Amino acid sequence: MNPASPLLALAFWSPAAAQFGPPQTLAESTGPLDAAIVDLDGDGDLDLLSAGSAPRVVWYENLGAGSVGPLHILTTEAQEGEDLFAADLDGDADVDLLIAAGWPHCISSIENRGPGVFGEQRHIEETYNSRGVFAADLDADGYNDLLLAAGNEITWHENLATRTPVGDVYCAPSIPNSSGQPGLLVPRPR
């Protein structure tokens, strides 16, 4: 028996083709560029988050049975919202938002302050041609760090804050982090 045979069988196995119903409009939006589904209000169901060519990021509460409530405007300062990502950025167990906007060329965050209550948009870093923003605990210290795709590079930004929204930090590449490497996120001076 050829040892590669089981792998070949797996590589060519495919479940039956998925079947989908006709499209159903959940919400009207001006030039949507990105949408995400995430529980924004802590009620256990997935809500709709949207950004686009209109200078705003909005969310719609999931009402169940394929319907959403009225839009809630999170910010009107994110024209050409290229990417949205939801993750706990400040260690308080709710999902905060990251926005990569084409105008103003920046990455920003919005803190989730409780069920369906959000803070103001906070600038993290100016970028050019930002296309993606992600959060994950890349250094295993218990805090979600930032991973940005902008221009011609992908950059990692260690989250040095302790229970501080990422929006309360500023870019300071010359200050070393705990591993001695240049740290990019440090508490904003008061």
**pLDDT tens for each residue of 30-40:** 677 788 899 99
Determine if the pTM surpasses 0.95: no
Supply 106's token pair. Answer: 């920046």
pLDDT at 104: 66
The closest of 73, 82, 91, 166 to 124, measured between CA atoms, is 166
Q: How far is CA 48 from CA 28, 43, 59, in A?
A: 12, 13, 5
DSSP secondary structure code for residue 166 in this structure: G
Q: Is 77 helix (H, G, I), strand (E, B) or coil?
A: coil
pLDDT in tens, 46-88: 999 988 877 788 899 999 888 899 989 898 877 676 788 999 9
Q: How do residues 145-189 score in pLDDT, each as one tens digit?
A: 988 888 788 888 888 865 444 444 433 333 334 444 434 443 333
Residue of 36, 123, 20 whose CA lies nearest to 83: 36
Task: Supply 179's token pair.
Answer: 């591993």
Query: Could you give the residue ranges of the DSSP H alpha helices within 2-155?
Result: 5-12
> Do the beta carbons of residue 83 and residue 99 sit within 8 Å?
yes
The Cα 83–Cα 34 span in angstroms is 6
The pLDDT value given to residue 107: 84
pLDDT score of 79: 67
